Chains A and B, each alone.
Chain A
Amino acid sequence: MNTSADSVPPLPHRIETIRAHQARGGRVAAVLPIHHPRALFRAFDILPVEVWGPPQVDATRGGAHLQPYVCSIVRNALAYLLSGGLDLADLIVVPHTCDSLQGFASILIDFIHPAPPVLPIYLPRGRRASDVAFLAEEFKSLYRQLAEITHRAPSDVELMECLHREEEADARLADLYRRRAALPQKDFYRLVRSREYLPAEKFSEIVGAALRAAPNGRSQGAPLPTPILLSGIVPEPMAVFDALDRMNAAVVADDFACCGRRLYPPGKSDDPFTRMAERLLTAPPDSTRDDAIEDRLQHLIRLTKESNAKGIVFYDVKFCEPEFFYLPALRKGLQAAGIPSVTIEIDLNDSLSQQVSTRLEAFVEMIA
């Protein structure tokens, strides 16, 4: 169990969760970033457990297959898989998020041949009617593959039940975001990120308990921290929150691919596949889904205003092309809107460097 402040109930560890699920006869899918249909896996009694790197692994094994200009999320994932880190997984799911994850899935399928089956999912780059229709078909195709692997065939009713559980968990996630000030920021992100591996019902239960136990208002005392917004792919190393605490800065909103960009609204359709597609395609703007720069800019400005953030930190993983392309126009637009910003590049294998801390501190001092 992970324990933390009094207001946050103990969080089950990832490995405990996996073992408990498997002990009950369920299967586990290792799922690469970012967007995927959790409900579909759960309908087959498969627990999706996400693999965001993980950080701080020996990445040299990944280097035997991937060039040095591939980001550390993908290199680490491969190194982790090759060193047995995903041995507990019954299948590996790779959403088509970017060119690097595309290549990752392709070399697994064609050359590395891991023991579990590898299932890629193509995510369309748009929010048009044709994109929803295609994604629903893609999920039906995934359903057929999962049925073949598990020898199960969940009905539409069962799919809808799972979908409603996920929608409920996402509603709790949204509640958590609304009351984030009540929790220490590192605990808040631990809770948010437990969605990466906890079953929806467990997540809803824990978040509900945390919010009931949380004090009304802010968790920290005076002096008032400097409010900032973090944007990027993944908040690693988590030590960044300790550093921000020391600088008396508070993350009051985020635009992380693994967090705020996955506040999926409920779907509308009565067809479970279409509903799953609708949910993914109506989430907040995301670079990896090819949203217009203006849409991302307006989203960031709105988040900044609503949260009273005084500035934005773009906290990106090195070599992340989707994020890098948007930065100049976003920063220019933010500057025009009077919102200062700074960019910081990280590698998942680095601890929080002095250089990063200094840049953060200088930025926080500037906007305070």
Chain B
Amino acid sequence: MSLVDSLPYQVPLTFGRAALRVNRWRAERAAPRSKSEHLAPPLKISPRTKELIARHYLEGRYANRHRKVAWVTSGAPVELLKALDFYVLYPENHAALCGTARAVEEIATEAEHAGYSRDVCSYARTDIGAMLSGKTPVGRLPKPDLLLACTNICQTVLFWYRVLAHHFRVPLIVIDTPFIYTEATEHAVKFVQRQLEDAIPLAERVAGKRLDERRLKETTRLSKQASELWLEIMARGKQRPAPISVFDQFIQMAPIVEMRGDAFTVDFYAAMLKEVDERIARGIGAVKDEKKRLLWDNLPIWYRLRYLGEFLAARGVAIVASTYTNAWGELAPFIDPERPLASGARTYLHPILNRGTGYKLATMQRMVAEFQLDGAILHSDRSCKPYSIGQIDQRDRLLREHNVPALLLEADHNDPRAFSEEQVANRLEAFVEMLGV
């Protein structure tokens, strides 16, 4: 691409990036203030998070003019695409962003009007609604040249990506990861590795370039480093008081999901870990008067993060660990940068969502012990069946066999129409009372 040709891309991007940097500097200079008297001030890294996310979508806005674009599922082996210089968009993250921006009702309605049932996943409805209407809080989404769906988080993504492939008329790569009821079989690992190998020629053809093995190893190394740092940050929640809450983690997890394999993501989490350690040294807790500590299971309720955080903090309850945020770190030990495809097959087979309900219960029990938790909130998420089925038994086991108070909270991760504030408040109030706060 010549200099002249690149101007329509480079000029707005350069100005946009500069504007975002200025915004961050301004936010960093202002003393962070808590929005609630019961919560610590927001992390100082927060303006940088906002800048990273805004920059990511800014680049996406102009990406079609000079890069190949891939839309991928959150558990997809993105290292392959990063190594081929794709701009990578995560529709699930975009949907969550719509959730925090309270834009879901309007956007998802577009999909419902087109015939998509309200019984299908609200992330999918949000993104299909955005695809059909162009409505998005980020300005504009780039069109995909390639789609990559990995079944390790749910089967929903398969059907969702079939809709995308049909609409955009672009190739879809499916990486099918057989569900692990107890242990992964060797033929399942081989199957995933073969699919990763088979995906390369198509991805190369769309990218218009050959995959550089050194680049793939480097991207994989960066993914591993970022995942390890994220895991370390979450482990700091074992401190009393916990320096960050799960609500902070939900906000700060965007880069580990959608910017894995980038050097700046490693730098970001290194800086975040430093800040968290500073908080520990100064005895700062995410909840000012931490009396009880809880576990969160399942996806967040994106459109009520602040409400839930403040509601619980006002009662001295801190949610300090989560099976969901943990999922983005616990795979780090599987990653071997020297064997990106072989280790990738095992890594991408093993997310918590691709493992049995017993494994999830064991994870919860381990976290309850390690983080010294007083109870658990299990978000029964009508938009995420693979995460939610099993929760009734998991809650019963936590209660009966491990004496861990546990609450099943009915909601939806992205659709506010499935959230009854009064009912949730009543149930939380009763649960907190039972904890003896």
Could you tell me which A residues sit within 8 Å of B by CB distance? 64-67, 69-70, 96, 98-100, 102-107, 109-112, 120, 122, 124-126, 128, 130-131, 133-134, 137-138, 141, 287, 290, 292-294, 318-319, 321-322, 324-329, 331-332
Q: Is the CB of A99 within 8 A of B154?
A: yes
* Binary flags per residue of B162-173, CB closer than 8 Å to A gives 1, else 0: 110111000000
Q: Beyond the given A126-B176, A324-B117, please list 6 additional residue pairs across the A-B interface where CB-CB is below 8 A.
A: A67-B389, A96-B178, A109-B182, A125-B174, A126-B174, A325-B120
Max chain B Cβ within 10 angstroms of own Cβ: one of A64, A67, A128, A287: A67
Interface check B191, CB cutoff 8 A: yes
- Number of chain B residues close to chain A: CB under 8 A: 50
B156 to chain A: closest residue by CB: A321
Contacts of A290 in B (CB 8 A): 155, 158-159, 162, 174
Instruction: Report the bound CA distance from A100 to B155 in whole Å.
Output: 10
Complex interface: stretch among B50-58, B312-320, B390-398, B427-435: B390-398
Contacts of B114 in A (CB 8 A): 328
Tell me how far the C-beta of A362 lies from the nearest C-beta in chain B, rounded to whole angstroms.
18
Q: Residue A141 contacts which of B120, B185, B397 (CB distance < 8 angstroms)? A: B185
Tell me how far the C-beta of A76 lies from the nearest C-beta in chain B, rounded to whole angstroms.
15
Q: Is the CB of A124 within 8 A of B191?
A: yes
Contacts of B358 in A (CB 8 A): 106, 109-111
Q: Residue A318 contacts which of B119, B380, B389 (CB distance < 8 angstroms)? A: B119
Q: In terms of DSSP, what is the predominant structure of the interface of chain B?
A: helix
Instruction: Report the bound CA distance from A120 to B382 in whole Å.
Output: 24
Q: Is the CB of A322 within 8 A of B155?
A: yes
Interface check B357, CB cutoff 8 A: yes
20 contacts between A and B (CB under 8 A): A64-B392, A69-B119, A70-B385, A99-B156, A103-B385, A103-B386, A103-B389, A104-B389, A106-B358, A107-B393, A120-B181, A124-B178, A125-B151, A126-B176, A130-B198, A138-B187, A321-B121, A322-B159, A328-B114, A328-B115
Interface check B339, CB cutoff 8 A: no
Tell me how far the C-beta of A8 lies from the nearest C-beta in chain B, rounded to whole angstroms.
37
Q: Is the CB of B163 within 8 A of A293?
A: yes
B124 to chain A: closest residue by CB: A325
Contacts of B382 in A (CB 8 A): 67, 69
Contacts of B117 in A (CB 8 A): 324, 327
Q: Is the CB of B159 within 8 A of A109?
A: no
* Binary flags per residue of B272-285, CB closer than 8 Å to A gives 1, else 0: 00000000000000
User: With A103-B389, A322-B155, A322-B159 in contact, do A131 and B356 touch (Cβ < 8 Å)?
Assistant: no
Interface check B388, CB cutoff 8 A: yes
Contacts of A292 in B (CB 8 A): 162, 165-166
Q: Is the CB of B393 within 8 A of A111?
A: yes
Q: Is the CB of B155 within 8 A of A106?
A: no
Contacts of B151 in A (CB 8 A): 125
Instruction: Report the bound CA distance from A298 to B114 in whole Å.
Output: 21
Tell me how far the C-beta of A341 lies from the nearest C-beta in chain B, rounded to whole angstroms.
11
Tell me how far the C-beta of B131 lies from the nearest C-beta in chain A, rounded to whole angstroms.
12
A331 to chain B: closest residue by CB: B115
Interface check B269, CB cutoff 8 A: no
Q: Is the CB of A134 within 8 A of B165?
A: no
Q: Is the CB of A131 within 8 A of B397?
A: no
Q: Residue B179 contacts which of A65, A96, A131 (CB distance < 8 angstroms)? A: A96
Q: Is the CB of B356 within 8 A of A98?
A: no
Contacts of B391 in A (CB 8 A): 67
B114 to chain A: closest residue by CB: A328
User: With A110-B361, A130-B195, A293-B162 in contact, do A105 and B181 touch (Cβ < 8 Å)?
Assistant: yes
Q: Is the CB of A329 within 8 A of B187?
A: no
Closest 6 CB pairs of A and B: A103-B389, A110-B358, A328-B115, A325-B159, A137-B187, A111-B393
Interface residues of B in 361-389 (CB under 8 A from A): 361, 380, 382, 385-386, 388-389
Interface check B116, CB cutoff 8 A: yes
Tell me how far the C-beta of A358 lies from the nearest C-beta in chain B, rounded to whole angstroms.
20
Tell me how far the C-beta of A7 lies from the nearest C-beta in chain B, rounded to whole angstroms.
40
Q: Residue A125 contacts which of B176, B182, B188, B194 (CB distance < 8 angstroms)? A: B176
User: With A66-B389, A96-B179, A104-B389 in contact, do A325 and B187 touch (Cβ < 8 Å)?
Assistant: no
B362 to chain A: closest residue by CB: A110
Q: Is the CB of B181 within 8 A of A107?
A: no
User: With A130-B195, A138-B187, A319-B119 in contact, do A125 and B158 touch (Cβ < 8 Å)?
Assistant: yes
Q: Residue A326 contacts which of B159, B174, B194, B198 (CB distance < 8 angstroms)? A: B159
Max chain B Cβ within 10 angstroms of own Cβ: one of A130, A133, A327: A130
Contacts of A67 in B (CB 8 A): 380, 382, 388-389, 391-392, 410
Instruction: Report the bound CA distance from A130 to B199 in whole Å.
Output: 12
Q: Is the CB of A324 within 8 A of B174?
A: no
Q: Is the CB of A122 within 8 A of B195?
A: no
Q: Is the CB of A106 within 8 A of B385?
A: no
A327 to chain B: closest residue by CB: B115
Interface residues of B in 81-121 (CB under 8 A from A): 114-117, 119-121
Contacts of B190 in A (CB 8 A): 134
Tell me how far the C-beta of A325 lies from the nearest C-beta in chain B, rounded to whole angstroms.
3
Q: Is the CB of A102 within 8 A of B179?
A: yes
Instruction: Report the bound CA distance from A64 to B117 in whole Å.
Output: 26
Instruction: Report the bound CA distance from A109 to B163 in whole Å.
Output: 33
Contacts of B115 in A (CB 8 A): 327-328, 331-332
Contacts of A106 in B (CB 8 A): 179, 181, 356-358, 389-390
User: With A67-B389, A137-B187 in contact, do A329 and B198 touch (Cβ < 8 Å)?
Assistant: no
Q: Is the CB of B119 within 8 A of A329?
A: no
Instruction: Report the bound CA distance from A204 to B361 in whole Å.
Output: 47
Q: Is the CB of A99 within 8 A of B389?
A: yes
Tell me how far the C-beta of B369 lies from the nearest C-beta in chain A, rounded to whole angstroms.
19
A343 to chain B: closest residue by CB: B115
User: With A109-B356, A292-B162 in contact, do A69 and B390 touch (Cβ < 8 Å)?
Assistant: no
Interface check B311, CB cutoff 8 A: no
Q: Is the CB of A100 within 8 A of B191?
A: no
Instruction: Report the bound CA distance from A128 to B410 in whole Å.
Output: 39
Interface check B419, CB cutoff 8 A: no
Instruction: Report the bound CA distance from A128 to B174 in whole Å.
Output: 11
Interface residues of B in 318-374 (CB under 8 A from A): 356-358, 361
Instruction: Report the bound CA distance from A60 to B185 in whole Å.
Output: 35
Max chain A Cβ within 10 angstroms of own Cβ: one of B154, B357, B386: B357
Instruction: Report the bound CA distance from A141 to B190 in whole Å.
Output: 14
Contacts of B119 in A (CB 8 A): 69, 318-319, 321, 324
B118 to chain A: closest residue by CB: A324
Instruction: Report the bound CA distance from A105 to B355 in whole Å.
Output: 12
Interface check B250, CB cutoff 8 A: no
Tell me how far the C-beta of B350 lies from the nearest C-beta in chain A, rounded to whole angstroms.
15
Contacts of A125 in B (CB 8 A): 151, 155, 158, 174, 176
